[in-house]
Amino acid sequence: MAFRAAARPLRRLGARGAQVLAKHPRPVALAAGSLVAGGFAASTLSPARCDSALVDISSLTKVAKIDDVGLLPQPTNPKYKTALVQIYVDSQPFGGSDKSNSGHRYDSIPIANGMIASNMSCQLLHYVPSEHEKFFKVMEGFDAIIVRCNPGQINAAGGDQMKFDESMRALQKKGIQVWPSPDVMTNMGAKDALCKIANLAIGLPDTLAYYSKEALEEGFKKTMAFQPRVIKQ
């Protein structure tokens, strides 16, 4: 959800704004006029040059039930190779409330297309816990990894979130960018994170968090009288 909302302010900010946003974590708003999320900047990457167009992912299970409809053609000579990692929870409808019937997150194709439009390849993958070792071996072929797994979904799919996070940290130590990193999610993953950046250039001063029923009733009614609000629990 945050990435869809972030697309609008990122376009307005342009390349310079994207570089600024890349330095800050990507939170989700609790109650705000609109959402702002951290962006990705190619300038933060420092990978080796690409020797082939795409990373070979044929050894991994393809989870998406429908082909990548809407995905732009991958660049033939990408500046960087990126992967967008998702998780499919078999016990939940569509693989999770963040998924469409394709098995992809609603925002996966638009995010990948944004990378492709910037001359970076972006391959859509699903993390399958039973393929953990093989999966992270394949990840070593990428320059950057976009992690789009909702909190709790890896454990719900039979995996181990801590094991997943440690493997992502190991990739970071090898110089591979991970967006967001496990440590960023730990420190800035709470939904009140936008309140902490409300007065920065990338924040909104009317972003508020409510910690009691009374505060919500009083504050939310006042802000609703001013303009429509986005609320997250």
3-state SS string over the chain?
CHHHHHHHHHHHHHHHHHHHHCCCCCCCCCEECCCCCCCCCHHHCCCCCCCCCCCCCCCCCCCCCCCCCCCCCCCCCCCEEEEEEEECCCCCHHHCCCECCCCCECCHHHHHHHHHHCCEEEEEEEECHHHHHHHHHHHCCCCEEEECCCCCHHHHCCCCHHHHHHHHHHHHHCCCEEECCHHHHHHHCCCCHHHHCCCCCCCCCCCECCCCHHHHHHHHHHHHHHCCCEECC
- What's the mean pLDDT in 192-199? 84
% of the chain surpassing 70 pLDDT: 76
Give which of 153, 21, 155, 135 is closest to 94, Cα–Cα.
153
Is residue 78's pLDDT more than 90? yes
The predicted structure's pLDDT at residue 130: 97
Q: What pLDDT shows up at residue 211? A: 86
List the single range of 50-54, 108-112, 212-216 with lowest mean pLDDT: 50-54
The pLDDT value recorded for residue 204 is 86
Quick check: 35 pLDDT over 70? no
Q: Which pTM value belongs to this model?
A: 0.68
**pLDDT digit string (tens) for 130-174?**
999 999 999 999 999 999 999 899 999 999 999 999 999 999 999
Q: Using 50, 70 and 90 to split pLDDT, how confident is the model at 193?
A: confident
pLDDT at 154: 97
